[in-house]
Chain A
Amino acid sequence: MKIFITSKGRELDSKVDPRFGRAEYYIIYDTETAEFRAEENPFKKGQTAVGISLAQRVIEEGAQVAISGNFGPNAFEVLKAAEIRLFRAGGEMKVKEAVDAFLRGELPEMDSATPREVADRLEKELK
């Protein structure tokens, strides 16, 4: 199974990027081979629809699970429609820690998008 994780860097000990659409990088982790690949998020500086664009990338990458700190409403809608399961890795979790926690069934599954006010506060904190 392929897992899509938003990341602040290209390594497994990079931190999970708490933003979905504007994440710096994403990592595709294959649970069968324990191999991974990192890509720069090509949409991170886009003006609009960055969440939708990256959600489409998740589908194209063939991932069945996506892990991030937050999912905006549009990204959430696209990923849910594609029947991709979404999990939240909060705090300062590293990518590897998030993957392990997910495999142990310890990551909370998202049943709604991150509320706008929470997303705005997070965006401010990151600046």
Chain B
Amino acid sequence: MILSVASGKGGTGKTTFSVLLARAAAPALYIDADVEEPNGGIFLKPEIEREEDFTEPVPRIIPEKCTYCGECARACPYKALVIIPPPAKKDLFFPELCHSCGVCAYVCPEQGALIEVPRKKGVIRTGRSGQLDFMEGILNIGEPTAVPLIKALMKKARNYKGDVIVDAPPGTSCPVVEAVSEADFVLLVAEPTPFGLHDLSLVVEMVRELDKKFAIVINKAQEGNTLVEDYARRQGIPVLFKIPFSEEIARMYSKGELPFGEFEPQLKEVFARIREMVE
């Protein structure tokens, strides 16, 4: 079973909940797919066993074969290539604009004038944290899109023999869609504030569009604050868990710690319930 943890708003407690749940679900695989700012490792403190480069193909012009016709540059939708025609005859490549779509190589009329070479765009690190398998993607700063790296992580999720918990990036844009694309179930973490509710409603629209089974988890839940619960009731969405608003948890979090033991029995039940809902 692949379970993705998402939230519209950032800072609602996606990672907090993901790592708590992953620990309770172990043996399982935790994947930090928030590749622009992965921080699950801070709490899980894994022993990293392997680090592999994540590369994608980018163009390289071979000056001896290139006629500087400029077809590649004209076709590039991202303007990552510039061809200066004769007499100057130069080529410029802006890697931070390249999406590795390959259209430049496709349109090049000269055999061997434009080849594609791998360029490192990040790393995928794997290791273990107790009973839990750990994986995280780290995207290089300045890369135009997180989607390909998340796609690579989701492929690993699919091939894993066992349960997978995916810690998605915040928001509702393409990287988030990618991080929930393979999920059998999506948990949406929300905090009971007006902003929290607003962004929750956006991500609810997103998972409905993707036709996913999903439920809500409330973080920083307070006695008497029923903002998210009222919304969930109106929308017919189950609320599976609440993490209380607690100074103690915040204090632990700031030190890279979390009360794993305290929530483990309840979260084991939550996980079992999700499995029932999926089957």
Contact = CB atoms under 8 A, between A and B. Distances in A.
A77 B91 CA distance: 11
Interface residues of B, number: 13
A52 interface: yes
12 contacts: A48-B79, A48-B97, A49-B80, A52-B82, A52-B97, A53-B79, A56-B82, A74-B94, A78-B92, A81-B82, A81-B90, A82-B88
B84 interface: yes
A56 B90 CA distance: 13
Given A48-B144, A56-B73, A82-B90, 8 more contacts: A48-B78, A48-B79, A49-B79, A52-B82, A52-B94, A81-B82, A81-B84, A81-B92
A83 interface: yes
A51 to B, nearest CB: 9
A49 B94 contact: yes
Interface string A77-103: 110011100000000000000000000
B84 A52 contact: no
Nearest to B74: A56
B85 interface: yes
Interface in A44-63: 48-49, 52-53, 55-56, 59
Interface residues of A, number: 13
B143 to A, nearest CB: 13
A49 B79 CA distance: 6
Nearest to B91: A81
A66 to B, nearest CB: 14
Q: Which of B88, B90, B92 has the most CB of A within 10 A?
A: B92
Contacts of B78: 48-49
Contacts of A81: 82, 84, 88, 90, 92
Nearest to A46: B79
Interface in B61-100: 73, 78-80, 82, 84-85, 88, 90, 92, 94, 97
